[in-house]
């Protein structure tokens, strides 16, 4: 797991153990239910509460499987709160154009084009190194992406051009990470994930277009699907572990559904017309 994930797990586990009125070994399902009520009273979001439950459940799984303690896992099935399943939000083509027109810094243009055209996550862009770029093959090796997995993504011509323009103006430095802070006390150091997020928040406000780093990824996936790219191909490019995650895009890809419908219906109508003619004559 990533270091921040480990930190979050430990924090959530600590909150529960401090709250519990009984020793860890004596915690029962009712205690967990009471803890859920406490979190609800704090007005935590259902997704956040479920994250707490996951940490507790995995801790007890660890005690059973690794420490070989004879105890039951108090986080039983059915305790997790139901979550809404919103569709991934993407930008329309005119919004993409408006957003890109608002960007004036060549560094920022390169950053957001890599998200929009290559489907990179914000963490993956922040950690991208010079050696990861293979211009000869027009591809990027994404190392230790989500789930510590490596994958290859491809660079479109416009994204490659945006990156090349930035690299030509990038200061000469021994720093291997591509994107650097340009002002202030941290000038010359790698830009952070939060630093990139602040930049897109700035451009979102400037352009008046609701956009986030992850929405650019969603936009890339939707555009590929509408251009008839295979779902499995999109899964590989985005680095999704499960095809079900990628399939969510097919629920909002109206253009492809529209084309598929009319193409199939055209065949149906031709067949129907032929059969009708035969019956009539």
Q: Which own/partner pairs from 135-144 qualify as long-range (CB within 8 Å, at least 24 positions apart)?
A: 135/160, 135/164, 140/114, 142/239
Residue 121 appears among annotated catalytic residues:
yes
Which among 9, 35, 60, 249 is annotated as catalytic?
249
Which among 52, 57, 127, 240 is annotated as catalytic?
240
Which among 58, 143, 146, 177 is annotated as catalytic?
146
Which among 57, 217, 218, 256 is annotated as catalytic?
217
Burial class (CB in 10 A: 0-12, 13-18, 19+), 88: middle
Residue 4 appears among annotated catalytic residues:
no
Residue 217 appears among annotated catalytic residues:
yes
Residue 11 appears among annotated catalytic residues:
no
Residue 135 appears among annotated catalytic residues:
no
Which among 214, 256, 271, 281 is annotated as catalytic?
214
Residue 218 appears among annotated catalytic residues:
no
Which among 52, 121, 127, 170 is annotated as catalytic?
121
Using CA atoms, how far apart are residues 122 and 195, in angstroms rounded to an integer?
Answer: 10
Active site residues: 121, 146, 214, 217, 240, 249
């Amino acid at each position: 797991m990533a270091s921040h994930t480990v930190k979050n797990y430990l924090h959530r586990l600590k909150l529960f153990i401090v709250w519990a009125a009984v020793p860890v070994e004596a915690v029962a399902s009712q205690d967990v239910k009471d803890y859920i009520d406490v979190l609800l009273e704090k007005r935590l979001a259902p997704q956040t509460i479920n994250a707490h439950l996951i940490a507790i459940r995995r801790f007890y799984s660890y005690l059973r499987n690794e420490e070989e303690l004879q105890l039951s896992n108090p986080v039983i099935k059915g305790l997790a709160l139901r979550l809404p399943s919103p569709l991934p939000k993407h930008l329309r083509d005119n919004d993409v154009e408006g957003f890109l027109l608002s960007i004036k810094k060549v560094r920022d243009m390169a950053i957001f084009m890599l998200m929009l055209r290559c489907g990179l996550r914000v963490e993956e862009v922040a950690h991208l190194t010079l050696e990861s770029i293979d211009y000869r093959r027009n591809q990027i090796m994404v190392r230790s992406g989500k789930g510590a997995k490596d994958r290859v993504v491809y660079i479109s011509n416009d994204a490659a051009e945006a990156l090349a323009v930035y690299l030509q103006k990038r200061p000469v430095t021994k720093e291997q990470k591509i994107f650097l802070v340009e002002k202030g006390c941290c000038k010359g150091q790698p830009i952070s994930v939060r630093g990139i997020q602040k930049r897109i928040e700035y451009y979102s406000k400037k352009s008046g277009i609701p956009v986030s780093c992850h929405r650019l990824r969603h936009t890339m996936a939707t555009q590929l699907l509408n251009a008839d790219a295979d779902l499995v191909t999109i899964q590989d490019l985005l680095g999704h572990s499960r095809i079900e995650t990628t399939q969510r895009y097919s629920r909002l890809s109206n253009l492809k559904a529209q084309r598929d419908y009319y193409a199939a219906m055209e065949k149906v109508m031709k067949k129907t017309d032929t059969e009708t003619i035969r019956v009539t004559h």
